[in-house]
Every structure is written in structure tokens, then in C-alpha cells.
């Protein structure tokens, strides 16, 4: 009988992308997917190291696996990803029942390391300091048949004082544009309709080749691949966001009107200490420029609360930017010091109770703004790509789930006899807006996927210039 596996993913979209390739490597080596970790012969945990609770999540998961390992010594446990790159052999010291530890640069070694454990009965630790092969060049087992991640770069050249990613993912490396376009074309032939371009700083793509407009050029090329209906990307950096990228977004119908632009803080003083190479006015100017060309663009962000030295005035400046920027959503984080980062050694750490209080106030402000933005869509027609066609009951109503072009979550009412599949495109009308999703109860029309993609104008109440 072939051995079974599970890959558990902690962390960002790049980790999800890497996990799909580790699954592909295991499938190529003859393993088969298990239904759960409780049934698997091999459990791989792909870790994150950005937040403080990343350690707790990893060792909590490993603790749950320890009894299974004691009962079945032939079971294999592997730890990969950013925390593995950071802690290395320290993982075996804290969890000696782990069999394999490998880093971010050598996920292609996973099957060989598992084989080595089988042959030697000794745990294996392999951490390399530079990229061996772009993950996208490795075999893959995708979680979705209609949507795919495509890595265009790895690593990061920024030096933000709160972030440990550059030391774990390495310096920025760009894939050749031809390789990316060929991968997207192959995905389209397989039935993929939506792709998301991935990188720690996607809009710096091309600098390695000496092409400052490289990312804008790539958006246009990828957006023109036959069969691809939706192109997304994450995450850009305000420093490198250019007019050419905005033009490419506005002029390429398959590039979606959604933008995730990390703010981190609305205070110039805090941004300076974070070593972020922009200020609040520059950030707001970018949003104004985006909405001038793409009025219905939904803009989301990342915000850190309680960075060392943050005052009440600094925090108020962040809330002010949230209200001016009209974010459709935000990932909000309480600052946690990460060993190895400059900010961890700052002597003016904000007391935890103050951080918690500010965090709750920020979440309230974000939700107020996001709900107002969602309510502007009530009565508007939107295009939805189905992500879950099985449907779920909401009282007497059966609903399927999907994403609008601007990435808003939409629950569409369907009849019990309707058969829809992930990747299907619908047009429908929004009947109600909640803070985190939209409801569409007015019926729907299935879109012919061979029809040219068309941009939607969105509600007229959106797209106002960012307040200054």
C-alpha cells in the first residue's frame, strides 16, 4: 500500500504555494493524500515565523502528533518553512520526535530527506542559505482546479525593522518573464481561470533585469493569456508602486480591480522607525491615483498596532488614514517582537494592555469603514466566480459562495436543483451587505467563459478621491 501524507500550512500565501509544491513532490514520489493528519503516514507542517504565536502554533501541533509517533515509530513528521529556516536544529531539541527539518530554499529535498530517514533511522536537518530552484518549477498538487498561485519572485530586499522575512527568504530573485507566461498558459490549458501572482514585493519585479516597468509589462502579458479570466497579485510595496502599474491594472480587463497595499502605520514617525520608505501622504496619493483610473477598486491593507514608541497621537493618525483611505478590509496585527529584528531590541515597547486597547479600537474603525463600503454595492450588478459550488443552507435558502471581481466575498442564493462548480462565472445583483460579505438573492445568470472579460463600473458612491 502506498504511504499517505498531509501538508499543513501555517502563514501566508507564499506558504500555501510552497505547500502545494511539497504535495506535488510527495505525489511524484508515490505518496497519496490522506483525509487528515490523524490518518497520514507522513505529516508535513509548513511554518510561518512572522508573528509571535507562530512558535506556539507549531509546537502545539507537534505536541498533538507526539502520541501518534510513540504509537507508530514508522510515522514521519517533517517541519518546513520560515520557522524551520530560523530555528533549524533547535526544533529537534524541543520536539525530538520530528524526523525532518528543511528550510525555505530547498523544499525540493523533501522526498529525499524522508527516504534518508527510512534508511538511517536518524532525523535529518537540511537548511541551505540560497534558493536552489524556484518552487514553481517543482511538481505541484493544487488545492483548486480553477484558481492557482504563480510565484514571480522570492525573497525581499527591504529592511523593515519589524520583519524577519528577508533573513529567512533571502534576497529578492525574479523569475524570467517567459517562464511565468508559459506557466500561466499551461495553467489555462488545464482549465485554470484565475491566477494570483506572488512575491514578497511583487511590484519590484523586473529590477533584477533592469526593467523598472517589469511588473506592469508582466501584468499585461499574463492578462492577455487566452483562457485566463482573472489576474490578481500580492503583495506590492508603496515604495515601488508606479503609474505604469496603475495603467496596466486599468487597461487590462482581466486584471482585477482589487489591491492589497500594506500601510503598517498611518504615523510618519512610526513609519520612519519601521524603516518603511514612504510616508502617509505618499500612501494616500497612490490610493487617489488608483481610484482615479479604477473607480471601483477595493483596497485592503495590513496594519500593525503597538509598534515600539507608538504614542496615542501616532495611533490616532493610523485610524485617521483608515477613514480617509476607505479600506474595504484590513489585516490587523498586534505588534510582537521577533528575535533577530531591530525593533525587538527597542527599549520603548508599548505595554500589552495599551496595545490590546488600541487594537480593539482599530478593528472597530476598520469594520465601520468596510461595512460602509460594502453597503454601497447594494442594488449593483456584479460578476461572481464560484469558489464553493456545493451550497449551504441559510435558513430556507441554499447559497453558493464566490468572489466578486474586487475580491469581496459573495453568497448567492440558488435553487436546490442548480448545479454550479468552482470556477463558474455568474452575474447577479447585491441585495444586502454585511461587514464582511455580500448577499445576492435576486437570481443570477451564468456567464459564457469564452466571452471577453469586461470591467464593471461599480457603484457611483465608490471611487471618490481619498480624503486628505
The pLDDT tens digits for 101-132 are 998 889 999 999 999 999 999 999 999 887 77
For the record, the C-alpha cell of 308 comes out as 515600539
Q: Give domain status of residue 340, yes or no.
A: no
Question: Is the Cβ–Cβ distance between 48 and 87 less than 8 Å?
Answer: no
Q: Give domain status of residue 267, yes or no.
A: no
Q: Give domain status of residue 316, yes or no.
A: no
Question: Which stretch of 136-140, 173-177, 353-357 has the lowest confidence by average pLDDT?
Answer: 136-140
Whether residues 21 and 121 share a domain: the answer is: yes
What is the DSSP pairing of strand 425-429 with strand 381-394?
antiparallel
Domain count, the chain: 3
68: enclosing H helix or E strand: helix 53-71
CATH number at residue 49: 3.40.50.12160
Q: Give domain status of residue 425, yes or no.
A: yes
Q: Supply the range of the domain harboring residue 248.
A: 144-255
Q: Give domain status of residue 231, yes or no.
A: yes
For the record, the C-alpha cell of 445 comes out as 445568470
CA distance 88 to 102: 8
Whether residues 122 and 151 share a domain: the answer is: no
pLDDT, tens digit (0-9, with 9 covering 90-100), for 267-313:
999 999 999 999 999 999 999 999 999 999 999 999 999 999 999 99
Whether residues 74 and 150 share a domain: the answer is: no
pLDDT, tens digit (0-9, with 9 covering 90-100), for 386-395:
998 777 777 7
Question: Is the Cβ–Cβ distance between 180 and 152 less than 8 Å?
Answer: yes
212-216 long-range CB contacts below 8 Å, 24 or more apart? 212/242, 213/242, 213/244, 214/174, 214/177, 215/245, 215/248, 216/242, 216/244, 216/245, 216/247, 216/248
Q: How confident is the model at residue 458 (pLDDT cuts 50, 70, 90)?
A: low
Stated pTM of the model: 0.89
Whether residues 121 and 210 share a domain: the answer is: no
CA distance 335 to 306: 5
Number of Cβ within a 10 Å radius of residue 397: 16
Domain boundary among 92, 126, 160: 126
Q: Give domain status of residue 324, yes or no.
A: no
Q: Give domain status of residue 67, yes or no.
A: yes
Whether residues 156 and 250 share a domain: the answer is: yes
CATH number at residue 175: 3.30.750.210
Amino acid at each position: 500500500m502506498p504511504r499517505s501524507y498531509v501538508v499543513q500550512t501555517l502563514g501566508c500565501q507564499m506558504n500555501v504555494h510552497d505547500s502545494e509544491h511539497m504535495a506535488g513532490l510527495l505525489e511524484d514520489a508515490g505518496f497519496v493524500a490522506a483525509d487528515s493528519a490523524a490518518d497520514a503516514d507522513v505529516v508535513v507542517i509548513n511554518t510561518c515565523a512572522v508573528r509571535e504565536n507562530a512558535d506556539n502554533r507549531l509546537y502545539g501541533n507537534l505536541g498533538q502528533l507526539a502520541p501518534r509517533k510513540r504509537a507508530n515509530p514508522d510515522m514521519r513528521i517533517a517541519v518546513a518553512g520560515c520557522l524551520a529556516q530560523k530555528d533549524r536544529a533547535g526544533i529537534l531539541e524541543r520536539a525530538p520526535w520530528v524526523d525532518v527539518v528543511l528550510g525555505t530554499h530547498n523544499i525540493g529535498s523533501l522526498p529525499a530527506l524522508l527516504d534518508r530517514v527510512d534508511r538511517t533511522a536518524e532525523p535529518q536537518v537540511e537548511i541551505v542559505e540560497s534558493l536552489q530552484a524556484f518552487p514553481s518549477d517543482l511538481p505541484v498538487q493544487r488545492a483548486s482546479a480553477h484558481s492557482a498561485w504563480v510565484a514571480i519572485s522570492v525573497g525581499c530586499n527591504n529592511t523593515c525593522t519589524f520583519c524577519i522575512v528577508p533573513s529567512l527568504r533571502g534576497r529578492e530573485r525574479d523569475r524570467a518573464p517567459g517562464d511565468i507566461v508559459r506557466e500561466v498558459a499551461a495553467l489555462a490549458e488545464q482549465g485554470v481561470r484565475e491566477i494570483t501572482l506572488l512575491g514578497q514585493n511583487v511590484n519590484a519585479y523586473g529590477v533584477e533585469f533592469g526593467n523598472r516597468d517589469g511588473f506592469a509589462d508582466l501584468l499585461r502579458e499574463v492578462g492577455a493569456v487566452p483562457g485566463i479570466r482573472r489576474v490578481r497579485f500580492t503583495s506590492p510595496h508603496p515604495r515601488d508602486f508606479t503609474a505604469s502599474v496603475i495603467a496596466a491594472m486599468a487597461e487590462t480587463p482581466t486584471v482585477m480591480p482589487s489591491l492589497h497595499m500594506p500601510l503598517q502605520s498611518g504615523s510618519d514617525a512610526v513609519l520612519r522607525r519601521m524603516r518603511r520608505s514612504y510616508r502617509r501622504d505618499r500612501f494616500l496619493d497612490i490610493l487617489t491615483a488608483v481610484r482615479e483610473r479604477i473607480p471601483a477598486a477595493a483596497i485592503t491593507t495590513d496594519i500593525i498596532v503597538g509598534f515600539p514608541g507608538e504614542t496615542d497621537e501616532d495611533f490616532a493618525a493610523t485610524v485617521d488614514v483608515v477613514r480617509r483611505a476607505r479600506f474595504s478590509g484590513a489585516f490587523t496585527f498586534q505588534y510582537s517582537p521577533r528575535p533577530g529584528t531591530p525593533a525587538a531590541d527597542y527599549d520603548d515597547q508599548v505595554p500589552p494592555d495599551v496595545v490590546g486597547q488600541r487594537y480593539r479600537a482599530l478593528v472597530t474603525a476598520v469594520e465601520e469603514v468596510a461595512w460602509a463600503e460594502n453597503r454601497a454595492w447594494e442594488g449593483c450588478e456584479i460578476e461572481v466566480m464560484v469558489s464553493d459550488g456545493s451550497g449551504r443552507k441559510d435558513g430556507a435558502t441554499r447559497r453558493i459562495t464566490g468572489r466578486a471581481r474586487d475580491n469581496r466575498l459573495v453568497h448567492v442564493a440558488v435553487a436546490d436543483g442548480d448545479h454550479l462548480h468552482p470556477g463558474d462565472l455568474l452575474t447577479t445583483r447585491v441585495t444586502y451587505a454585511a461587514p464582511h460579505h455580500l448577499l445576492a438573492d435576486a437570481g443570477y445568470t451564468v456567464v459564457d467563459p469564452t466571452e471577453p472579460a469586461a470591467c464593471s463600473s461599480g457603484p457611483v458612491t465608490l471611487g471618490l478621491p481619498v480624503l486628505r
